[in-house]
Amino acid sequence: MIIWLNGTFGAGKTTTAHELTALLPESRIFDTEHVGFMLRHVRDLVDGDFQHAKPWRGLVVATASQLLDHLGGTLVVPQTVLVRQYWQEIHDGLTAAGIPVHHFVLHTDRATLAHRIDTDTKPDTVPARQWRHDHLTPYEEALPWLREEAEVIDTTELPADRVARRVAATVASAGHPAIG
C-alpha cells in the first residue's frame, strides 16, 4: 500500500510522513525526489523540474513496486505533484501494479504557507526558499483537481502528529488490513 501525501511546500508533508511511519508497523518513507535526483545527470532529459521527465513518473511506479515486493508493508510518499496528468500516470501505474493508493493533500492557506517557508531554517530548505514560494500559485491552480483526487486535510491548526493520526484512521476505516 502507498499513502501519498501531496500538497505544496510548507504544508507539513515530510513532518507528517515521519509521524505516520512511527504509527504504522512495517511502514517506511519513500522519497521520490531521490528518483528525480538520479535522473538530473542525464543530459537532455531533465530541464528544471524532474517531474516533467516522463521516465521519472515511470521509475517512481517501478521503484515503489519493487520496494513493496521486496519489503512489503506500506510506503509513505511525501511528494508534491501539481500536474494532473503526472498524477494520473503515477496513480494508474501503481493501480495496474496492484498497489492500493491512499492520496491525501495537506493544505493550508497561502499566508500560513508563506510564513512556514520563510521561517523554515533547515539547511536543505533555505536555498530553495524562493523556489518554494514560486510554487504557491501553481498549487492554488491545482487545488480544484486535487480536491477531486484526494482527501484534503487542513493543516493550518493541526500539528503533524494529529494529521498523521487522521491519515492512519482514514486508511484504517477504508479497511486496509495492515492498519488498525
Instruction: Calculate what percentage of the chain has a pLDDT beyond 90.
Output: 64
Q: What is the model's pLDDT at position 125?
A: 63
pTM of the model: 0.91
C-alpha atoms less than 13 angstroms from C-alpha of 22 in its C-beta half-sphere = 12
Rounded CA-CA distance 6/24 in Å is 19
Beta carbons of 50 and 36 less than 8 angstroms apart? yes
* Structural domain spans, the chain: 2-171
Q: pLDDT value at position 117? A: 83
pLDDT confidence tier of residue 175, bands split at 50, 70 and 90? confident
Q: Which of 31-45, 51-65, 139-153 has the lowest mean pLDDT?
A: 31-45
pLDDT at 176: 64
pLDDT band at residue 113 under the 50/70/90 scheme: confident
Residue 45 has pLDDT above 80, yes or no: no
The secondary structure of residue 176, as a DSSP letter, is: -
Whether the predicted pLDDT of 127 surpasses 70 = no
Rama region for 48: left / alpha / beta (φ>0; ψ in -120 to 50; rest) = left
Q: 142-154, pLDDT tens digit by residue?
A: 999 999 999 999 9
Instruction: List, edge to edge, every strand of the sheet that includes 27-29.
Output: 27-29, 74-78, 2-6, 101-107, 151-154
Per CATH, which fold does 2-171 belong to? Answer: Rossmann fold (3.40.50)
